[in-house]
């Protein structure tokens, strides 16, 4: 539903005519004593100076909005001035008036907008004022162009509410870090933005999630999005343009009908400065260090008192966290002296070799020095080889039994493991299995049945006592995990037949919220992917173009002008959600090239 909107460029009488004849609401000077509940939002009856006023003074500027009833400020941050100043606008309620003032001078010869969307509610029932964008100029003209677009998360393509969209006349990449924009606006619930009353010139277009609220991009805390090329507004502001009207956010049809030209994908940028930010001694023989930025470059590393052959190290896939183990049977000192020769960012921003001495303290070492008895706090897991064995019914066919140790193992007897298959008649059959060592995690193994897993059968994996020994010299306990393929008759499946695969692509099945990956595949050629055991509900399938073929979704870089890796969703009839019914096996055919080019 379209809401009342004051039209800034009309005469005063025309501005307020729509609200004069609006239905009256309950008395706002005291709580209603009877009758229906007040559900009508407040509306503006007067503004001083009038909308569209020219040559507004740059100093001690004050704007007064008069409402038809008593109101309160629900969210001060939503009273938003564009272009923004270094300090936000000051607002206070005086009777039925909202008074907005500024703590610093405005820019000369500049068109300003002041947006009240999501800021004001009536005093009694809390009915929100739908919003209004007030325009004025400190010069002799009102700029008249506009652009529209949406801001969305780069990996889920979900709309981002409250992102700050910014335009810069300064085209240097550093402008978004150092200067405030010449025009800006906040996105609504649908991630939609309309930047109006713009000059006819070329701009850089950005969006940030501005945690500090200072209208400057801070790569340490903010998310960012940018348009690849310069933008030039061409559309003219008009009182009847649907894209510039205020809408009730629950009016899905009207909100989605708004035309958009620009799509900005919000991402967290990889930090540009490299240095060690954290160090943790996890246990006697286990530690890790973390780096500020991914792809840490280590030339050499050693621990005082230990030869290289006694040190085990492993980077995570982003290479910003390094696990370190001491593989030595001797008692380990309370403090390990780690020396890391790596490329560290210097004061000029360049990577230079740096030898850093990192002291890794054992937890409780200082308490031990004053008579603390560590043996009293020993737990069972402190004296055994700790591991986790897991298998999920929905994914065991794809992922197998997943075995992960807390510390690296130095002794193993995988041939002592036993896979028992129990058929529907409860007959026990010994099954064969394979063992795969994870290429990225030396503590992780996958155990797969060699025979095709069958519905109605139970699969038991038994690990006997003392099958493994870790670097601490501890042996493992025994355990058993049982798993059956889901056999609920109401479950469904989806078969996705993919053709024309242009390169390496990550294919994920997500739940309706797009927060959980239920099943994932990586392909680089035509393939048929099966998504079994689906319950009735909505799902979506995400395709990520893995350009650098590292099997993860890579983020973008603002200074390198590199967008995050492209993400698209499989659509049926324009809808990204697959509404899967019960007891249904569906097959869908799709061209991956067409999906990614959408």
Do 47 and 98 sit in the same domain of this protein?
yes
User: 126 in a domain, yes or no?
Assistant: yes
Peptide bond into 49 cis (omega under 30): yes
Choose one of 351, 377, 403: the last residue of a domain. 377
> What pLDDT score does 324 carry?
98
Query: What does the pLDDT average to over 132-148?
Result: 97
Q: Calculate what percentage of the chain has a pLDDT beyond 70.
A: 91
Structure tokens at 387: 């591991």
Question: With bands split at pLDDT 50, 70 and 90, how would you rate the model's confidence at 28?
Answer: very low
Do 247 and 227 sit in the same domain of this protein?
yes
Q: Return d(Cα 72, Cα 125) in angstroms, integer.
A: 11
> What pLDDT score does 211 carry?
87
Per the model's pLDDT, the better-predicted residue between 40 and 98 turns out to be 98
> What pLDDT score does 9 carry?
40
CATH of the domain at 538: 2.60.40.1120
Choose one of 209, 240, 266: the last residue of a domain. 266
> What pLDDT score does 364 carry?
63
Query: What does the pLDDT average to over 528-556?
Result: 93
* Ramachandran assignment for 414, one of left (phi > 0), alpha (psi -120 to 50 degrees), beta (any other): alpha
Average pLDDT, the chain: 90
Strands 335-345 and 418-422: unpaired
> What pLDDT score does 39 carry?
79
Domain with 468, as residue range(s), is 381-484
Do 576 and 497 sit in the same domain of this protein?
yes
Choose one of 137, 161, 190: the last residue of a domain. 137
> What pLDDT score does 304 carry?
97
Do 318 and 342 sit in the same domain of this protein?
yes
Asked which of 215-224, 280-289, 365-374, 511-520 is least confident by mean pLDDT, the reply is 365-374
CATH of the domain at 335: 2.60.40
User: 2 in a domain, yes or no?
Assistant: no
Q: Calculate what percentage of the chain has a pLDDT beyond 90.
A: 81
Residues facing residue 192 across a β-bridge: 150
Q: Return d(Cα 163, Cα 493) in angstroms, integer.
A: 38
Contact (CB, 8 A) for 38 and 23: no
142 C-beta neighbours (distance < 10 Å), count: 18
Query: What does the pLDDT average to over 344-350?
Result: 92
pLDDT tens-digit series, residues 36-54: 677 789 999 999 999 999 9
Give me the number of domains the chain comprises.
Answer: 5
Do 571 and 507 sit in the same domain of this protein?
yes
Contact (CB, 8 A) for 150 and 263: yes
CATH of the domain at 16: 2.60.40.1220
Do 477 and 537 sit in the same domain of this protein?
no
Angstrom distances, CA of residue 56 to CA of 15, 84, 557? 19, 16, 40
437 C-beta neighbours (distance < 10 Å), count: 10
> What pLDDT score does 428 carry?
96
Q: Return d(Cα 106, Cα 114) in angstroms, integer.
A: 13
Query: What does the pLDDT average to over 468-478?
Result: 96
User: 533 in a domain, yes or no?
Assistant: yes
Contact (CB, 8 A) for 458 and 484: yes
User: 323 in a domain, yes or no?
Assistant: yes
Do 65 and 133 sit in the same domain of this protein?
yes
Do 160 and 256 sit in the same domain of this protein?
yes
> What pLDDT score does 8 carry?
43
Do 435 and 501 sit in the same domain of this protein?
no
User: Cβ neighbours of residue 19 under 8 Å, at least 6 residues apart?
Assistant: 4, 43, 44, 45, 68
Query: What does the pLDDT average to over 220-229?
Result: 94
Q: Return d(Cα 233, Cα 142) in angstroms, integer.
A: 15
Is the pLDDT at 21 greater than 80? The verdict is no
Angstrom distances, CA of residue 500 to CA of 21, 589, 591, 593, 596? 61, 11, 5, 6, 11
Structure tokens at 373: 């008895």
> What pLDDT score does 103 carry?
93
User: 558 in a domain, yes or no?
Assistant: yes
Q: Return d(Cα 542, Cα 428) in angstroms, integer.
A: 41
Do 224 and 251 sit in the same domain of this protein?
yes
Query: What does the pLDDT average to over 233-259?
Result: 93
Structure tokens at 245: 């009207």
Contact (CB, 8 A) for 104 and 57: no
> What pLDDT score does 331 carry?
93
Per the model's pLDDT, the better-predicted residue between 254 and 573 turns out to be 254
Do 257 and 164 sit in the same domain of this protein?
yes
Residue of 87, 131, 140 whose CA lies nearest to 111? 140
User: 460 in a domain, yes or no?
Assistant: yes
User: 235 in a domain, yes or no?
Assistant: yes
> What pLDDT score does 130 carry?
86
User: 4 in a domain, yes or no?
Assistant: no
Do 344 and 453 sit in the same domain of this protein?
no
């Amino acid at each position: 539903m379209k809401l009342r909107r004051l039209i800034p460029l009309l005469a005063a009488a025309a501005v307020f005519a729509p609200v004069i004849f609006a239905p009256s609401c309950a008395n706002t000077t005291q709580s209603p004593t009877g009758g229906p509940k007040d559900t009508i939002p407040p509306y503006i009856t007067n503004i001083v100076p009038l909308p569209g006023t020219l040559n507004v003074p740059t100093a001690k500027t004050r704007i007064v909005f008069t409402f038809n009833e008593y109101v309160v400020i629900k969210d001060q941050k939503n009273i938003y001035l564009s272009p923004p100043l270094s300090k936000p606008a000051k607002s206070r309620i005086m009777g039925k008036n909202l008074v907005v003032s500024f703590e610093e001078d405005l820019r000369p010869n500049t068109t300003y907008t002041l947006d009240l969307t999501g800021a004001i509610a009536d005093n009694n029932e809390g009915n929100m004022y739908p919003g209004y964008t007030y325009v004025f100029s400190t010069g002799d003209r009102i700029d008249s162009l506009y652009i529209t677009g949406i801001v969305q998360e780069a990996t889920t393509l979900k709309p981002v509410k409250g992102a700050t969209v910014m335009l810069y006349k300064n085209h240097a990449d550093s402008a978004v870090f150092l200067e405030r924009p010449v025009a800006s606006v906040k996105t609504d619930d649908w991630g939609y933005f309309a930047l109006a009353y713009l000059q006819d010139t070329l701009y850089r277009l950005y969006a940030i999630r501005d945690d500090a609220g200072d209208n400057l991009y801070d790569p340490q805390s903010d998310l960012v999005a940018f348009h690849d090329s310069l933008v030039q507004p061409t559309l003219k502001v008009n009182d009847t343009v649907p894209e510039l009207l205020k809408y009730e956010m629950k009016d899905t049809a009207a909100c989605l009908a708004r035309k958009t030209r620009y799509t900005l994908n919000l991402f967290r940028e990889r930090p540009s400065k490299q240095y060690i930010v954290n160090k943790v001694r996890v246990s006697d023989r286990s530690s890790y260090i973390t780096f500020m930025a991914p792809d840490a470059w280590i030339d050499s590393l050693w621990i005082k008192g230990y030869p290289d052959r006694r040190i085990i190290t492993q980077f995570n896939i982003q290479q910003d966290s390094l696990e370190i183990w001491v593989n030595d049977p001797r008692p380990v000192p309370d403090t390990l002296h780690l020396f890391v020769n790596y490329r560290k960012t210097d004061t000029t921003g360049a990577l230079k070799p740096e030898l850093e001495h990192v002291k890794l303290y054992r937890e409780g070492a200082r308490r031990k020095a004053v008579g603390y008895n560590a043996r009293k706090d020993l737990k069972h897991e402190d004296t055994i080889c700790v591991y986790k064995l897991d298998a999920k019914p929905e994914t065991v066919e794809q992922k197998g039994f997943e075995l992960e140790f807390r510390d690296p193992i130095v002794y193993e007897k995988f041939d002592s493991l036993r896979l028992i298959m129990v058929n529907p008649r409860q007959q026990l059959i010994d099954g064969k299995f394979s063992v795969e060592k994870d290429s990225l995690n030396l503590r992780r193994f996958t155990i797969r049945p060699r025979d095709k897993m069958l519905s109605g059968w139970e699969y038991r994996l038994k690990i006997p006592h003392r099958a493994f020994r870790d670097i601490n010299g501890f042996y493992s306990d025994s355990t058993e995990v049982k798993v059956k393929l889901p056999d609920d008759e109401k479950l469904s499946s989806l078969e996705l037949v993919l053709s024309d695969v242009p390169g390496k692509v990550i294919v994920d099945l997500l739940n309706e919220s797009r927060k959980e990956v239920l099943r994932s595949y990586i392909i680089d050629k035509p393939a048929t992917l099966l998504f079994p055991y689906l319950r009735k509900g909505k799902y979506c399938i995400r395709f990520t173009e893995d350009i650098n073929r590292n099997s993860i979704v890579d983020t973008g870089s603002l200074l390198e002008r590199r967008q995050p890796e492209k993400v698209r969703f499989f659509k049926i009839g324009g809808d990204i959600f697959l509404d899967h019914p019960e007891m249904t096996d569906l097959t869908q055919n799709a061209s991956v090239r067409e999906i990614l080019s959408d």
